[in-house]
Amino acid sequence: MKSLSDNEIRRILEESKTIAIVGASAKPDRDSYMIMQFLQQHGYNVIPVNPAYKEIAGLKCYSGLRDIPEKIDIVDIFRKQEDVLPIVDDAIAVNAKTVWMQLGVVNEDAARAASRAGINVIMNRCIKIDFIRLISR
């Protein structure tokens, strides 16, 4: 599967408004929590997704992507690679534009499924690092 160019990733970050954080944690020392806060501070509407919580950092937390009543631009996945395919199935069902698998998360089957559905796929990359590198120069 072809990787997206920096220009394509920059365009996605610039055009996206709503980011669902799947695997969001309520623990401030976790990467998902810190990245969720970073994205919120940079103007994104972030939506935590984790069935273990009702709320994270004052934001309503949803059990799954299909429960979110808003349009989702990016599904940012903080889950083990073996848990990704059902999340991608949900991303397809809600017509997300991009699936972003965080650093260390690689699932080729899920990437192919998303790509076949016309969804942008970014895999094994950190959205915060790419935002800093490509947007906030």
CATH value at residue 59: 3.40.50.720
Question: Is residue 79 assigned to a domain?
Answer: yes
pLDDT at res. 1: 64
pLDDT at res. 3: 85
Question: Is residue 26 assigned to a domain?
Answer: yes
Question: Is residue 1 assigned to a domain?
Answer: no
Beta bridge partners of 29: none
pLDDT at res. 136: 77
The residue segments making up the domain with residue 14 are: 6-134
d(CA 73, CA 90): 13
Contacts (Cβ under 8 Å, ≥6 apart) of 49: 20, 21, 22, 23, 24, 61, 62, 63, 64, 65, 68
pLDDT at res. 111: 97
Question: pLDDT of the chain along its 137 residues, tens only?
Answer: 678 999 999 999 999 999 999 999 999 999 999 999 999 999 999 999 999 999 999 999 999 999 999 999 999 999 999 999 999 999 999 999 999 999 999 999 999 999 999 999 999 999 999 999 999 75
d(CA 102, CA 99): 10
Note the residue count of the chain.
137
In 26-72, alpha helices (H): 31-41
Question: Is residue 38 assigned to a domain?
Answer: yes
pLDDT at res. 64: 97
Element holding 63 (H helix, E strand): none
Question: Is residue 12 assigned to a domain?
Answer: yes
Please count the structural domains in the chain.
Answer: 1
Question: Is residue 49 assigned to a domain?
Answer: yes
Question: Is residue 61 assigned to a domain?
Answer: yes
d(CA 65, CA 24): 12
